[in-house]
Structure 1
Amino acid sequence: MGAASSRLEKALGEQFPEGERYFGLENFGNTCYCNSVLQALYFCVPFREQLLEYYANNKSAGDGEENMLTCLADLFSQISNQKKKTGVIAPKRFIQRLKKQNELFRSYMHQDAHEFLNFLLNELVDILEKECNAAKEPPQNSSSNKNLNGPVNGQANGSHKEPDTTWVHKCFQGILTNQTRCLRCETVTDRDETFLDLSLDIEQNSSITSCLKNFSSTETLNAEDKFFCDKCCSLQEAQKRMKIKKPPNILVIHLKRFKYIEQLGRYKKLSYRVVFPLELKLINTVDNSDLEYSLFAVLVHVGSGPNHGHYISLVKSHNHWLFFDDENVEMTDESMVQTFFGSAQEFSGNTDNGYILFYESVAKTN
C-alpha cells in the first residue's frame, strides 16, 4: 500500500492538473456499493461542477435542513479542497444520512449499487424540485409535475414558455419513445418517457451494441396482448419498439446481471461476457444520428451472487485510468477495462464483471 501510494503521488504530480484530487473512501463494513458509485459521480465532471456550485451558493444558509444533497455536496467539497492530491476520507456524515433516509441501506447486508444510484439521483431531483418550487409563487403550485421545474438556485423566470429541468436532469436524463404501429390502419402512436439510466438485458458473448439493438427490437403484439388502436377503436395486432428520442449528456448503462431462476427459487448472477467499448456509438435513436459516447467510469461487481460480494470502480480522469477499491487508489491501464467484460464460459472462477457503465457524450451539440 505504501509503495503503491508513493507511485500514485509521483504520477499525480507529473501527469494530472494541480487542482484534481484522488481520495479513497473508508468502508463502514458494507458500504463499497456506495463508495464505488460516489467515485463515478465525483469524476462525472459536469455533475461535480454543478454540485460544488450548489455548495458554494448554499453554504452560507446555516439554517438549512440537512439532506442527501447537502451531505453529498459537503463530501465533494471536502475532497476537492484537500491540500494533498491523494489520501482517504471517511464519508461518515453522508452514510449516516443515507441510513436515516432509507431503511433499505440500514442493514449490514450486501446492497445493490444500482439501487443506490437510482435512489440517490431521484432523491437529489426531489430536493432540487422542492427548493425550486419553494422559491416560486404562488405556493399552491408546489405540487407541479416532476421533471419540469426550474434551476436549483431559485433563478427561475416565470416568463419561460418551456419549463426548466434540474441540473441532475441536464446531466443524466434522456427521453425514450415507445412507438406502436397498428397493423390494420398503419397508424403509429408515440408515447414518451424519461430515464436516468438504461437497464439492458444481457446474453452470453455479446456487446453493448447488440444489447442496445435488442432493447430497441420490434415486438409483435397479438393474441391476448393486442393493442387498442384509437383510430380503429378496437383491439388490433400491432408492432412496437422502444427508441431513444433524446439522448442524455451522461449515458448510464446498467447490465442486468442478476436474474431470478424459478427452479432455484433465488437470484443468480450472470457472469456473461459483454464487451463494452471505450468509444460507443448510440445506434438506436429516433433520428438515427449515431451519437458518440466515451467511457469514463465502470462499476464492477465482484462475487457470485447478488447478496454477497464487493464493488470496485475504474475511473478515467484526464486521459488516465485509476482503480478505486474503497480506501485504496491506484493508477492502472485502460487495458484493465477488458478484464471486466465477463467470462465466455458458463461456469468460471472469474466473477469480476462490469455492472454499471458511465459514458459521456462527445457529439457536437446543436
Structure 2
Amino acid sequence: ATFGNTCYCNSVLQALYFCRPFREKILAYRSQPRRKENLLTCLADLFHSIANQKRKVGVIPPKKFITRLRKENELFDNYMQQDAHEFLNYLLNTIADLLQEERKQEKTNGRLANGTLDSQNNNSNATPAPTWVHEIFQGTLTNETRCLTCETISSKDEDFLDLSVDVEQNTSITHCLRGFSNTETLCSEYKYYCEECRSKQEAHKRMRVKKLPMILALHLKRFKYMEQLQRYTKLSYRVVFPLELRLFNTSGDATNPERLYDLVAVVVHCGSGPNRGHYIAIVKSHDFWLLFDDDIVEKIDAQAIEEFYGLTSEISKNSESGYILFYQSRD
C-alpha cells in the first residue's frame, strides 16, 4: 500500500474478516439504513467490497477506512508503524461506542415519535446494554483477594475484549493463561486493607477467568521495556499456540466449565522491535490456511504455522512470531 505503513491495520482487518461471527454482524449492519460516515460504516463498506468481490483475485486497498481512522485518532495519523494490538483495541472499543450511541439516538427518536417517555431507559447513568461486539469478544475476569487473617474473599469483576498475557521462553498458550491466574502474596508494604479486619493484612490475590468469550483474542506481550537499553525490545520467545485449544473457566461458579476453541486467525509480528518491523496475518478460510502479507496472499500448510511460534535461541533476533491470536469457541 502506498499510503504509509498500514500493515498493522491490514493484518488486524484481515484477521477480523475471518472471524465469522464478527464479519456477519458487520455485513448485516451495512444492510441497515445508511448513517453518516464513521469508522464503522467505513469498515462495513470495506468488508462488503471484499465479500462481493467478483474476481477471484485482486486487491482492495482500505483507503477510505485508513483516511477515516487518521481523521479520528491522531495516534494513527502518521506514516509510522503502529502497534497492531493498540489498533485492535481502539477499533473494537470504537465500534462498540458507535453502536451504543446509535441505540441511544434510536431510543430518543422513538420517544419523540410516540411522545411517551420510556422510564427505564431514561436513566442516563445506566450502563449501556452490551452490543454485538461485547457478545462476540467480551469475557470476564474476576480479581479475588483473600485475607490471610480472616479468610474473607473479596472479588471484583472486570470485562475484557482481548486478553493480554505475559510470555516466557519455550512455553505454550495454555501455560501463559495458567500463569495469568497464579496466586500472588500481598505482604510487607503491599499489604491489603481488609474491610473485615479493618486493617492492613497479608493476603493472596489472583486473577481468574470467570466467563470465556465466543471469540478469544489473545495478545502476547512481546514488547518489553528494558531499563538498561532505555527502549522496548521484542521477546521472540517460542510460545506454542495449538490449532485446537481446550480452556477452562477457572472460577468456581462458571456456567460452562470447559470450552473448545479453534484457531481462526493470527496477527504475526515480523522484526526485532516494536517500531520497526512488519505485520502479516495467517487466517483459516474454509479448510485451509492463508497468509496475508499486505496485498500478497498465499496458501500455506497447517504445518507451517509452527514457524510462527517464535525462536528458542536469541531474545531479540529478527523473528516472525505470533502476536495476537484469535480463537473461536466451537459451541
Q: Does 1:179 align with 2:144?
A: yes
Letter in 1 for 2:228: Q
d(CA) in 1 for partners of 2:227, 2:143: 30
Q: Does 1:28 align with 2:9?
A: no
Letter in 1 for 2:38: N
Matched ranges for 1:150-229 at <5 A: 165-229=130-194
Letter in 1 for 2:125: S
By how many angstroms is 1:49 displaced?
0.5
Structure 1 ranges of 4+ moved more than 4 A: 137-143, 347-350
d(CA) in 2 for partners of 1:334, 1:173: 28
- For residues 83-114 of structure 1, what are the alpha-carbon distances to aligned partners after superposition, in whole Å with 9 as ceiling and x for unaligned? 12331101110000000000011111111100
Alignment partner, residue 342 of structure 1: 310
- For residues 138-178 of structure 1, what are the alpha-carbon distances to aligned partners after superposition, in whole Å with 9 as ceiling and x for unaligned? 599484355x32xxxxxxxxxxxxxxx10000110001101
Alignment partner, residue 22 of structure 1: none
Q: Tell whether the 8 Å contact from 2:4 to 2:80 is kept in structure 1 after alignment.
A: no
Alignment partner, residue 144 of structure 1: 125
Q: Secondary structure at the match of 2:45?
A: helix
Q: Secondary structure at the match of 1:86?
A: coil
Q: Tell whether the 8 Å contact from 1:130 to 1:142 is kept in structure 2 after alignment.
A: no
Q: Secondary structure at the match of 1:87?
A: coil
- For residues 248-303 of structure 1, what are the alpha-carbon distances to aligned partners after superposition, in whole Å with 9 as ceiling and x for unaligned? 00000000000000011100001011111111121352147232111010111010
d(CA) in 2 for partners of 1:281, 1:144: 38
Where does the alignment leave 5 or more consecutive residues of structure 1 unmatched? 1-25, 150-164
d(CA) in 2 for partners of 1:111, 1:221: 36
The alignment of Structure 1 onto Structure 2 pairs a total of residues equal to 318
Where does the alignment leave 5 or more consecutive residues of structure 2 unmatched? 109-116
- For residues 223-243 of structure 1, what are the alpha-carbon distances to aligned partners after superposition, in whole Å with 9 as ceiling and x for unaligned? 111111122122111101111
1:40 to 3, 8, 15: 15
Alignment partner, residue 114 of structure 2: none
d(CA) in 1 for partners of 2:315, 2:192: 41
In structure 2, relative to structure 1, the CA distance for the partners of 1:223 and 1:179 (3 Å cut) is: same
Alignment partner, residue 199 of structure 2: 234
Letter in 2 for 1:29: G
Give aligned-pair identity as a percent.
60
Letter in 2 for 1:79: I
d(CA) in 2 for partners of 1:349, 1:198: 25
d(CA) in 1 for partners of 2:218, 2:193: 32
d(CA) in 2 for partners of 1:346, 1:286: 37
Matched ranges for 1:16-95 at <5 A: 26=1, 28-58=3-33, 61=34, 64-95=35-66
Alignment partner, residue 81 of structure 2: 110
Alignment partner, residue 123 of structure 1: 94
d(CA) in 1 for partners of 2:9, 2:95: 15
Greater shift, 202-211 or 284-293, is seen at 284-293
d(CA) in 2 for partners of 1:225, 1:195: 26
Alignment partner, residue 227 of structure 2: 262
Greater shift, 309-318 or 345-354, is seen at 345-354
d(CA) in 2 for partners of 1:86, 1:226: 60
By how many angstroms is 1:347 displaced?
4.8
1:327 to 281, 295, 301: 295
d(CA) in 2 for partners of 1:116, 1:239: 34
Give TM-score scaled by structure 1 length: 0.83
In structure 2, relative to structure 1, the CA distance for the partners of 1:125 and 1:40 (3 Å cut) is: same
RMSD: 1.7
1:360 to 315, 321, 328: 328
d(CA) in 1 for partners of 2:317, 2:274: 16
d(CA) in 2 for partners of 1:80, 1:143: 38
d(CA) in 1 for partners of 2:157, 2:107: 27
d(CA) in 1 for partners of 2:145, 2:24: 40
2:245 to 270, 273, 280: 280
Give TM-score scaled by structure 2 length: 0.92
Q: Tell whether the 8 Å contact from 2:234 to 2:315 is kept in structure 1 after alignment.
A: no
d(CA) in 1 for partners of 2:58, 2:286: 19
